[in-house]
Chains A and B, each alone.
Chain A
C-alpha cells in the first residue's frame, strides 16, 4: 500500500491551504479532489472578496483559487489527484480512492476531511421541473461554461450566495425578476443587497415559492407572502412567468465520510446541520483524523482558508514536524480567524462552536 503522512480529502480553499502549510513543514501530502479542477467553489466566484489582506480581500474568487493552487501544485511534497473520489475511509486510516476506473488504497498517518458542503433544497409542488436550479449549478453553467440558465429568473434566498449569484446573472444579461426571502430580513451583506436593489431588482422578504408551473419545463411560479409565523397568507398568491428558478437557501456540511470511521457528529443548526465534533485543533473524535472548512460548519470562504492553514499546522504538530514558522503562523491565523468571526455575522458560528464543544472529551 502507498504510504502518505497526510491525505487531504477536498481541494477547495481549506484543503489547499492545509496542503500548503503541511508541505512547507516537510510532510508528504496527497490532495484528492473529485472534480476536474482544484479550487472548489472559488473557481466560480467572479466577485471581489471581503476580508483583509490575509484572506486576499478585493481579489476575485477565481483569482484567489489560482493563488492557492499555485502555492501547492509544484511543491515536491504534494501529490495532487483530480477526478479522484474518496469512497472509503477506515479507522486504521486507510483511504480508498476511485480514480481512472480503479480503486487505489493508501495508508495515511493523518487525514484532513475538507469536503465542503452541499446545497439545501426546498420542498414545493413541481420542484423537479427542468429550469429549476441550485445556485451552485447556475454558477457552474454560467461562470465556468458560459451557458445562461434562462432568460427570466427568480432567486429564492437572500443570503450572500443568493445576492451574489443574482448580481452575476444580471452581469450575464439575465433578467432577474426578484429575489424572494422567507425570513423578515435580508440574510446576506447589505452592500450586496444595495448593489442589486439599485439595479431595480426587488428583494421581497417574508415571501416564498408555493409551486412551480409548467409541463415540459418551468413556465411560471406562484409566490406567496408569509406571516410572522412563517405561514402562507391566503389571497397573496401571485403568479410570475419565468423560465428559470434558482434556489439558494443554505448549505449543509458534508460530514458523511467521517461516519465511515464512526467519528462523533452533532446536530448544530448554527453550523448548518450535522457536523463532526472537533477539538480546538480541528481533530475529530478519531485520533489523527482532522476536519476543516465548510465540512465543520458553514462560513465564508475566507474563514475556510484560515481554518485550512491552521489545520495544516495542527496536523504538522501532530506528526511531530514543525513548520519553519510554526508558532508565528499559528498565532497569525488564529488571530485572523477570530477576527473574521468578531462581527455580527460571526455570532452564529461562535454560538455553534460553543455548542459543539460543550461537554466533549476529545481524542487523545
Chain B
C-alpha cells in the first residue's frame, strides 16, 4: 500500500500510537515507516525520547514515558512525518507541521484531512507557532473530534 500510493495502512498508523491512556499527555507520533539515512528527530529531542542509534538508517523509536509532547521534533523532521497527539475530553488535539501559504489563524475552522487527502471533519485552529528555529515550518495546533484520532493528519483551508 504505502509503497504504491503513499498512504500507510491502518496497522502501520496504529503501531505508532501509544496506548490511549498515555495520550492524556501530548505524545509524538513518528510516522516514519522506512529505513532512510536520517536522524534529526532524535538529535533535536531535548529529552532523549526519540531513539535511532548509531545506524541512522534505522526507524525512530519513541520512549513514550520520556516524551513531553514539546513538538521540537515536529519542524525538525525533513519528511514532515511527525505530529503530536493528545486526548482532551471528546477532542483530539494535534500539533502538525505546515509549510503552505496562507497559514491558518487562531480561531479559524479549517478542513481536517486524512492520509489519503480526503476531508473528514472540521479542525479548530487553536494556535500557530512560527519562529526562527523552525525555519519556515509552522507548527499548527488543531483540535478535531476524538473519533478521528487515528485518521486526522493535516488541515486544509476551506474552499
- DSSP majority for the B interface? loop
A207 to chain B, nearest CB (A): 11
What is the 8 Å Cβ interface bit string for chain B, positions 80-122, against chain A (1 contact, 0 not)? Answer: 1100000000000000000111000000000001111110000
Is the pair B38, A57 in contact by a Cβ cutoff of 8 Å? yes
Which residue of A is nearest B76, CB measured?
A58
CB distance from B76 to the nearest CB of A (A): 5
**Interface size for chain B: under 10, 10 to 19, 20 to 34, or 35 or more residues?**
35 or more
**Contact between B55 and A194 (Cβ–Cβ < 8 Å)?**
no
Which of B80, B113, B116 has the largest number of chain A CB atoms within 10 A? B80
Give chain B residues whose Cβ lies under 8 Å from the Cβ of A341: 37
| B40 at interface, CB cutoff 8 A | yes
Chain B 7-37: CB-based contact to A (< 8 A → 1; otherwise 0): 1100000000000000000000001111111
Given A191-B34, A191-B80, A343-B57, also A52-B39 (CB < 8 A): yes
Q: Is the CB of B113 within 8 A of A198?
A: yes
Contacts of A49 in B (CB 8 A): 78
Give B57's nearest chain A residue, CB to CB.
A343
Given contacts A171-B99, A186-B6, A190-B6, contact A51 B81 (CB under 8 A): no
Q: Are A191 and B56 interface neighbours, CB within 8 A?
A: no
Q: Check A205 for interface membership: any CB of B closer than 8 A.
A: yes
A190 touches B2 (CB 8 A): yes
Question: Are the CB atoms of B7 and A194 closer together than 8 Å?
Answer: yes
With most chain A CB atoms within 10 A of its CB, the pick from B2, B118, B137 is B2
Smallest CB–CB gap between B117 and chain A, Å? 3
Q: Is the CB of B34 within 8 A of A48?
A: no
Closest to A50 in B: B38
CB <8 Å contact, A200 and B117: yes
Contacts of A47 in B (CB 8 A): 78
Cβ–Cβ contact A189 & B79, under 8 A = yes
Question: B68 in the interface, Cβ–Cβ < 8 Å?
Answer: no
Min CB gap B121→A, angstroms: 14
Instruction: Give complex CA distance A345, B38 in Å.
Output: 12
Q: Identify which of B6, B37, B101, B153 contacts A193 (C-beta below 8 A).
A: B6
Q: A48-B78, A195-B79, A198-B154 are in contact. Are A190 and B3 (CB under 8 A)?
A: yes
CA distance A15 to B53 in the complex (A): 31
> Which residue in B99, B101, B114 is a CB contact (below 8 Å) of A198?
B114
CA separation between A202 and B5, bound complex, in Å?
7
Inter-chain contact B79/A192, CB cutoff 8 Å: yes
Shortest CB–CB separation between residue B139 and chain A, in angstroms? Answer: 14
Is there a chain B Cβ closer than 8 Å to A203's Cβ? Answer: yes
The answer to whether A200 touches B118, judged by C-beta atoms less than 8 angstroms apart, is yes
**Nearest Cβ in chain B — how far from A325, in angstroms?**
22
Given contacts A171-B99, A197-B115, A339-B57, contact A344 B35 (CB under 8 A): yes
Contact present for A197 and B117 (CB under 8 Å): yes
B81 touches A194 (CB 8 A): yes
Chain A residue contacts of B36, Cβ below 8 A: 50, 189, 191, 343, 345
Q: Among the listed B6, B40, B99, B114, which residue makes an inter-chain contact with A57, where contact means beta carbons less than 8 Å apart? A: B40
Chain B residue with Cβ nearest A173 = B101
Q: How far is the CA of A63 from the CA of B77 in the complex (A)?
A: 16
* Complex Cα gap A69–B155 (Å): 37
The 8 Å CB contact of B37, one of A171, A191, A345, is A345
User: Within 8 Å CB of A63, what residues of B?
Assistant: 135
**Which residue from chain B places its CB closest to the CB of A168 in the assembled complex?**
B99
Min C-beta distance of A67 to chain B, whole Å: 13
Q: Which residues of A contact B5 (CB under 8 A)?
A: 193, 197, 202-203, 205
Contact across chains for B117 and A199 when beta carbons are under 8 A apart: yes
21 pairs, A vs B, C-beta closer than 8 Å? A51-B56, A52-B38, A52-B40, A58-B76, A59-B135, A171-B100, A189-B79, A190-B33, A191-B80, A195-B79, A197-B116, A198-B113, A198-B153, A198-B154, A199-B154, A200-B156, A203-B4, A203-B5, A203-B6, A339-B57, A346-B37
Given contact pairs A52-B40, A184-B4, A195-B81, a sample of 16 additional A-B residue pairs in the complex whose CB atoms are under 8 Å apart: A50-B38, A50-B78, A50-B79, A52-B56, A57-B43, A171-B100, A191-B32, A191-B78, A194-B79, A197-B5, A198-B114, A198-B117, A199-B117, A203-B5, A340-B37, A343-B37
The 9 closest A-B CB pairs, nearest first, are A191-B79, A343-B57, A200-B117, A193-B6, A197-B6, A48-B78, A58-B40, A50-B38, A185-B3
